[in-house]
């Protein structure tokens, strides 16, 4: 399963955001939303992918990964869209991603990311396209 595309939406007063229909079809009835470890955005994973991540992390001694477990799992939520396709995002993870109102929801291959629209625009402006091209060339693409 590969998630692709970019969608702009607005968070409502109850911290609900519309999850694009194409993504909902791929995600299934429920899925997980958590903090992205290496970026100030949110990551959305299928239940299956979240289980794979948990299995991978749990394969290491707790002394090596306890902070990763705490960071990833403590603020994760299992989301189920309402009849209008909206999910509720807890304030704690919204704060982490600096999301106040306008969001961009993007496909990122094996998962989805939810960004503050302003942070997404900034990330796009400073993206090093030459570096990306070099990396793609190094793996034969």
pLDDT tens for each residue of 16-67: 999 999 999 999 999 999 999 889 999 999 999 999 999 999 999 988 999 9
124 token code pair: 């796009």
Give pLDDT, residue 94: 97
Percent of the residues in the chain that have a pLDDT greater than 70, as a whole number: 100
Long-range interactions of 65-74: CB distance < 8 A, separation 24+: 68/37, 71/35, 71/37, 72/34, 72/35, 72/37, 73/34
The rounded mean pLDDT for the chain is 94
Domain map (residue ranges) of the chain: 6-138
**Per-residue pLDDT for 109 more than 90?**
yes
Distance CA 46, CA 30 (A): 8
Query: Cβ distance 48 to 1 under 8 Å?
Result: no
**CATH for 6-138?**
3.40.1550.20
For range 88-116, the mean pLDDT: 97
**Per-residue pLDDT for 141 more than 90?**
no
Distance CA 4, CA 112 (A): 8
**Per-residue pLDDT for 130 more than 90?**
no
What kind and span of H or E run contains 114? strand 112-116
């Amino acid at each position: 399963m590969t998630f692709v595309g970019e969608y702009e939406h607005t968070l409502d007063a109850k911290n609900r955001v519309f999850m694009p229909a194409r993504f909902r079809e791929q995600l299934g009835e429920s899925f997980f939303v958590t903090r992205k470890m290496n970026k100030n955005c949110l990551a959305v994973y299928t239940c299956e992918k979240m289980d794979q991540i948990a299995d991978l992390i749990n394969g290491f001694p707790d002394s090596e990964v306890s902070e990763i477990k705490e960071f990833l799992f403590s603020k994760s939520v299992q989301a189920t869209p309402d009849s209008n396709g909206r999910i509720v995002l807890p304030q704690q993870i919204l704060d982490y991603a600096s999301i106040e109102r306008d969001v961009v929801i993007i496909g990122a291959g094996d998962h989805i990311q939810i960004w503050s629209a302003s942070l997404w625009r900034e990330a796009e402006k400073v993206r090093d396209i030459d570096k990306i091209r070099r990396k793609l060339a190094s793996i034969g693409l």
